[in-house]
C-alpha cells in the first residue's frame, strides 16, 4: 500500500521569520507596507515566478533610497538564517517511515535558492514544492497542487495530511478529502506532530 502524504507549510507553520528582518526597523516597516500592502499584486506575481529576487530588491532599493548591494546582502543573509526548530525537523524525518513528506510553500525564488540549502531542508522532506516554480498557490484551481502530488505518489487522499496556518489552504485540502490540521498560537506544529506520533 502506498504511503499517505504529509504536507507541511513553511511560513507561519515551520518558521515565523521574515525576509529583510535585519533592516533598521523603519526601513523594514516600509518594505512590508510597500511590497505586501501597496504592491500586493507585485508580491503575488513574484511568488508565482514572474519576478526574480534581484528585480524585487532593485525595486525596493529605489523605493527606500539605499544601495542595491546593501539591501541584497541583508536579504540573502536573512534568507539563509531563518529559524526552524531542529526538534520539529527531526520529528518530520522520523515520520518519513509512515508518510511521503512534502514541504509545500507559497514563496519566492530566494527560498529555493538560499533557504533550502542553508537549512538543509532536503534532508527532512521527500519533495519541496514552491509556488514560485509551480506557478500557482495552494488553493488555486481547487487545490491543484495537492491533487498533482497525490496523483504523482498514488497516495491515499483520505489518510494524507496538511499542517498549515492558512485557513484557506486547510479548507481546500479538506474539500479534496484530506485531513488538515491548522496551526494556531494555541496549537503549533509541535502539537500537531505529537498527535501524529501518537496515532
For each successive 10 residues of the chain (199 residues), what is the average pLDDT?
95 97 96 94 97 98 95 98 97 96 98 98 98 97 97 97 98 98 96 88
Instruction: Point out which residues pair with 130 in neighbouring strands.
Output: 105
- pTM of the complete model beyond 0.75: yes
Alpha-carbon span 72 to 61, nearest angstrom: 9
Q: 150: closest CA among 126, 182, 178?
A: 178
Alpha-carbon span 53 to 44, nearest angstrom: 13
Give the H/E segment covering residue 45. helix 40-47
Of the candidate CATH numbers 3.40.50.1000, 3.40.1010.10, 3.40.50.2000, 3.40.190.10, the domain formed by 5-15+83-198 belongs to 3.40.50.1000
Phi then psi dihedrals of residue 85, to 5 deg: -60, 125
Give the H/E segment covering residue 5. strand 5-8
Q: Locate cell 514572474: which residue?
A: 50
pLDDT at 1: 73
As annotated, the residues of the chain forming the CATH 3.40.50.1000 domain(s) are 5-15+83-198
**∠14-194-17 over CA atoms, to 5°?**
15
Q: 152: closest CA among 172, 134, 140, 166?
A: 134
pLDDT at 199: 73
pLDDT at 198: 77
pLDDT at 126: 97
Cell numbers standing for residue 192: 500537531
Amino acid at each position: 500500500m502506498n504511503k499517505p502524504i504529509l504536507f507541511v507549510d513553511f511560513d507561519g507553520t515551520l518558521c515565523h521569520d521574515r525576509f529583510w528582518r535585519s533592516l533598521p526597523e523603519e526601513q523594514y516597516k516600509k518594505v512590508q507596507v510597500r511590497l505586501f500592502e501597496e504592491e500586493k499584486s507585485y508580491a503575488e506575481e513574484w511568488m508565482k515566478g514572474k519576478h526574480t529576487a534581484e528585480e524585487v530588491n532593485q525595486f525596493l532599493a529605489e523605493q527606500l533610497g539605499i544601495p542595491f548591494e546593501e539591501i541584497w546582502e541583508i536579504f540573502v543573509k536573512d534568507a539563509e538564517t531563518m529559524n526552524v526548530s531542529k526538534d520539529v525537523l527531526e520529528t518530520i524525518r522520523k515520520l518519513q517511515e509512515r508518510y511521503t513528506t512534502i514541504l509545500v510553500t507559497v514563496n519566492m525564488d530566494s527560498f529555493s535558492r538560499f533557504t533550502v540549502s542553508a537549512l538543509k531542508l532536503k534532508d527532512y522532506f521527500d519533495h519541496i514544492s514552491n509556488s514560485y516554480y509551480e506557478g500557482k498557490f495552494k488553493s488555486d484551481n481547487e487545490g491543484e497542487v495537492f491533487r498533482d502530488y497525490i496523483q504523482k505518489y498514488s497516495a491515499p487522499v483520505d489518510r494524507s495530511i496538511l499542517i498549515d496556518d492558512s485557513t484557506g489552504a486547510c479548507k481546500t485540502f479538506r474539500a479534496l478529502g484530506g485531513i488538515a490540521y491548522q496551526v494556531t498560537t494555541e496549537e503549533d506544529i509541535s502539537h500537531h506532530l505529537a498527535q501524529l506520533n501518537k496515532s
